[in-house]
Amino acid sequence: MATRSKSSQRWLKEHFSDPYVKKAQAEGLRSRAAYKLEELVARDRLLRPGMVVVDLGAAPGGWSQWLRQELERLDPARPGRVVALDILDMPPLAGVEFLHGDFREDAVLSRLDAMLGGSPVDLVLSDMAPNKSGMDAVDQPRMMHLAELAMDFADRRLRPGGTFLIKLFQGTGFDQYVRELRQRYAAVAIRKPSASRKRSPEVYALAQGKR
């Protein structure tokens, strides 16, 4: 049996002692990432009854699960829609429409458009990240490529005045990407939720008021 590396052992120790991991398990949430979204939504009041939300890179479903619960809590009569998409499979979530596929493929986007049935999208979320190699020179370009594709997706499917929330890694290409967001949206802010690990380069760009 292979022994785990020191970095792997450190990650496991950190993960299972993480208060957000423990809280997610206690509350029946699929991922600690739900608390990042909860803080971002509360701070900027991003949700309203009846919204249509697309969650890119949704697996394992922490964001979609929390969104579905919160939209139903806001107004059970107008719960809106949560459409989740991921290249990885995801166990079903009640009230969440899941599309299994790679959003970089035209055929998958056509299936998504068919699911939406012409409904304008109010909020596009992306918590996507590439599989990390541990080398910034490899990981950062991969991350920015995904981010560019997500921005293009929002350009095409988000309604005027809509909101785009995306995870980014700080590094090469980050400043230019934020400048591009500011050309497309009325207001852009960078957020670092409490549930984001301090040593992580991740931040979230919140772009509101699509032009």
Integer-rounded Cα radius of gyration of the chain: 17
CA 70 from chain centre, in angstroms, equals 16
Residue closest to 33 by CA, chosen among 98, 109, 120, 125: 125
Which residues are catalytic, by number?
167
**74: buried, middle or exposed (CB in 10 Å: 19+, 13-18, 0-12)?**
middle
Q: Is 102 annotated as a binding residue?
A: yes
Rounded (10°) angle between helices 136-157 and 106-116: 40
Where are the extended beta strands (E) located within the chain?
52-56, 81-86, 96-100, 121-126, 158-169, 185-191, 202-210
The C-alpha atoms of residue 166 and residue 182 are separated, in whole angstroms, by 14
Beta-bridge partner residues of 189: 206
Going by the annotation, the residues of the binding site are 61, 63, 86, 102, 127
Query: Residue positions in the annotated binding site for S-adenosyl-L-methionine?
Result: 61, 63, 86, 102, 127
